[in-house]
Chains A and B, each alone.
With several copies, the nearest count.
Chain A
Amino acid sequence: MTTVCESTDEAVAGIEDGSTVLIGGFGMAGMPVDLIDAVIRQGAEDLTIVSNNAGNGDTGLAALLAAGRVRRVVCSFPRQSDSWVFDGLYRSGRIELEVVPQGTLAERLRAAGAGIGAFFCPTGVGTPLAEGKETRVIDGRAYVLEYPIKGDVALVKAHVADRVGNLVYRKTARNFGPVMATAATTTVVQVGAVAEPGDIDPEVVVTPGIFVDRVVVVPDRAGATS
């Protein structure tokens, strides 16, 4: 059942120390910056963050890292022109990193949401990222066995929700949101607006409300995505 929260603080309440937090977004597109800011205020520590990147500039995920709340990052591409916060923590040995190929990251999240115990994936075979992993040749092709990534909490940004939690996204800001929403025990979504049930055509719902626990409206601010 979906709760429409009054504030981002209410939306992220209860995140426990040591949680695994899935954070949507690809660069800034779809990044739930306001929810991350609320997590910084909320205070949970010792977090594992699963996200495509490891923070940009000094805001959002980078600010969470700078606040010393993150023990470990699972991502495909930590290194960016403006990832100095992560870079500094990593080089000084204050943060752990697991690098996962981007499509394998998405598929491992999907597997968690879909009840798949593990899957044989052709990506990364013969590369350093497959070292130590079980491999198998199936029908003449080599695969690596990959396991689900399950979150305690997912933080997602969508375009519009209805009151029962159905979501639609906007353009390439959709990216990891729909799979992360399925992969966490508690999914928290910041949206630009909340509509009434029926306002979103049932044919165009991308994330059905069953995957959405909490919704909070955060109007898109000018410059919020810059």
Chain B
Amino acid sequence: MTAPIREHTGRGPLGKDEIAARIARDIPAGSYVNLGIGQPTLVADHLGPGAGVVLHTENGMLGMGPAATGDEIDPDLTNAGKVPVTELPGAAYFHHADSFAMMRGGHLDVCVLGAFQVSAHGDLANWHTGAPDAIPAVGGAMDLAIGAKQVFVMMTLFAKDGTAKLVRECTYPLTGLRCVSRLYTDLAVFELGAEGAVVVETFGISYDELAARLDVPLRAA
């Protein structure tokens, strides 16, 4: 799946919506996909009906439609972020054990998650900052991390304080080990795995600049 690296230096970094669009392009038609809470839900806007993608929400539904508006809003029909949504023709409801059995059993093709940190070999930290006064809350994050055939992460490559979020080893508490296969950021797209991080594409930055800013061994695709 690795093509030669594409450096897009004649433009700026991707915006959130552009990252979402870039992810949507990598989701094959006919895939079953779970989009995590927060930014990953933006990916849905770029998966038109023609994409043939079926959305799963872990609170018990396949065939989830767009967010509900006006009279469509039904308190009994929400996504995992508790946002009212709609159902599409061909949808199915099921209970929580069945929903997570579907996930844990490896039946979802792709899951898109946000992250605090991702390691070059695919470890994920996205549930807990490790702050001593934080109330721990994991939700479905750990289930999603190990459940889908492919886990994509969507995040900015650097935190607001300039710290890189792609790291050698996660310092935040882990969500899952070696589970992330692709990392989509504002500055670059990476393939992750046992061999480390491979840069597939850059945006508003050259491969060499990127390598200089990250404390992670990189390879070009």
Contacts of B20 in A (CB 8 A): none
Of the candidates A100, A173, A210, which one forms a contact with B54 in the assembled complex, judged by CB atoms under 8 Å apart?
A210
Q: Range of interface residues on chain B?
A: 35 or more
Q: Mark A19-54, 1 if CB is under 8 A from B, else 0.
A: 000000011111000000000000000000000100
A152 contacts partner chain B, Cβ-Cβ < 8 Å: no
- Docked complex: A152-184 residues within 8 A CB-CB of B: 162-164, 166, 169-179, 182
Chain B: minimal CB distance from A150 (Å): 10
Contact A103/B140 with A175-B95, A202-B87 known, Cβ cut-off 8 Å = yes
B97–A179 CB distance below 8 A = yes
- In A77-121, which residues have CB < 8 Å from any B CB? 77-79, 86-87, 90-91, 97, 99-107, 109-110, 112-116, 121
Given contacts A172-B76, A174-B94, contact A78 B135 (CB under 8 A): yes
Is B101 touching A107 in the complex (CB atoms < 8 A)?
yes
B67, CB-defined interface residue at 8 Å: no
CB <8 Å contact, B174 and A128: yes
Instruction: Determine whether B177 belongs to the interface, using a CB cutoff of 8 Å to chain A.
Output: yes
Assuming the contacts A102-B138, A107-B97, A113-B101, asked whether A127 and B175 have C-beta atoms less than 8 A apart, the reply is yes
For A170, the chain B residues whose CB sits under 8 A away are 76
B92 with A209: CB separation less than 8 A: yes
Are the C-beta atoms of B97 and A110 separated by less than 8 Å?
A: yes
Q: Which residues 1-35 in B have Cβ within 8 Å of A in the complex?
A: 29-32
Residue B137 is within 8 A (CB to CB) of chain A in the complex: yes
Indicate which residue in B52, B101, B108, B128 contacts A182 across the interface (CB closer than 8 Å).
B101
The answer to whether A27 and B78 touch across the interface, beta carbons within 8 angstroms, is yes
Contact bitstring B111-152, A, C-beta under 8 A = 1, else 0: 000000000000000001000010111111111001100000
User: CB within 8 A of A29: which of B75, B97, B100?
Assistant: B75
CB-defined contacts of A76 to chain B, threshold 8 Å: 137-140
> Which residues on A sit within 8 Å (CB–CB) of B92?
166, 202, 205, 208-209
The answer to whether the Cβ of A7 comes within 8 Å of any Cβ in the partner chain is no
The answer to whether B104 touches A103, judged by C-beta atoms less than 8 angstroms apart, is yes
Residues of A within 8 A of B63 (CB): 164, 202
**Neighbouring B residues of A114 by C-beta, 8 Å:** 101-102, 104-105
Considering the complex, give the chain B residue whose CB is closest to the CB of A24: B96
Counting CB contacts under 8 A, is A1 at the interface? yes
Give A116's nearest chain B residue, CB to CB.
Answer: B104
A88 to B57, CA, bound (A): 30
CB contact list, B71-97 vs A, under 8 A: 74-78, 82, 87-97
A197 interfacial contact with B, CB 8 Å: yes
Instruction: Contact check, A27 vs B100: say whether CB atoms are below 8 A apart.
Output: no
Instruction: Point out the residues of chain B lying under 8 angstroms from A210, CB to CB.
Output: 32, 54, 56, 62, 102, 107-108
Cβ B97 vs Cβ A172 within 8 A: no
Bound-state Cα–Cα, A142 to B179, Å: 13
Q: Of all chain A residues, which has the CB nearest B28? A: A1
- A181-205 contacts to B, CB under 8 A, are 182, 196-198, 202-203, 205
Contact partners of B61 in chain A: CB under 8 A: 171-172, 202
Given the interface pairs A91-B133, A176-B96, the reply to whether A29 lies near B54 with Cβ below 8 Å is: no
A26 touching B97, Cβ below 8 Å: no
Beta-carbon nearest neighbor of B102 in chain A = A210
| Chain A residue with the shortest CB-CB distance to B58 | A102
Given contacts A126-B177, A162-B90, list 4 more A-B pairs with CB under 8 A. A99-B137, A125-B177, A127-B174, A175-B96
- A-B complex: 4 closest residue pairs judged by Cβ atoms: A103-B100, A197-B90, A1-B30, A198-B89
What are 28 sample pairs from A and B whose C-beta atoms fall under 8 A apart?
A1-B30, A26-B59, A26-B78, A26-B96, A29-B76, A30-B76, A87-B135, A99-B137, A105-B96, A107-B100, A107-B104, A110-B101, A114-B102, A121-B104, A123-B142, A126-B176, A128-B174, A171-B74, A174-B95, A175-B60, A178-B95, A182-B107, A197-B90, A202-B91, A209-B54, A210-B62, A210-B107, A210-B108
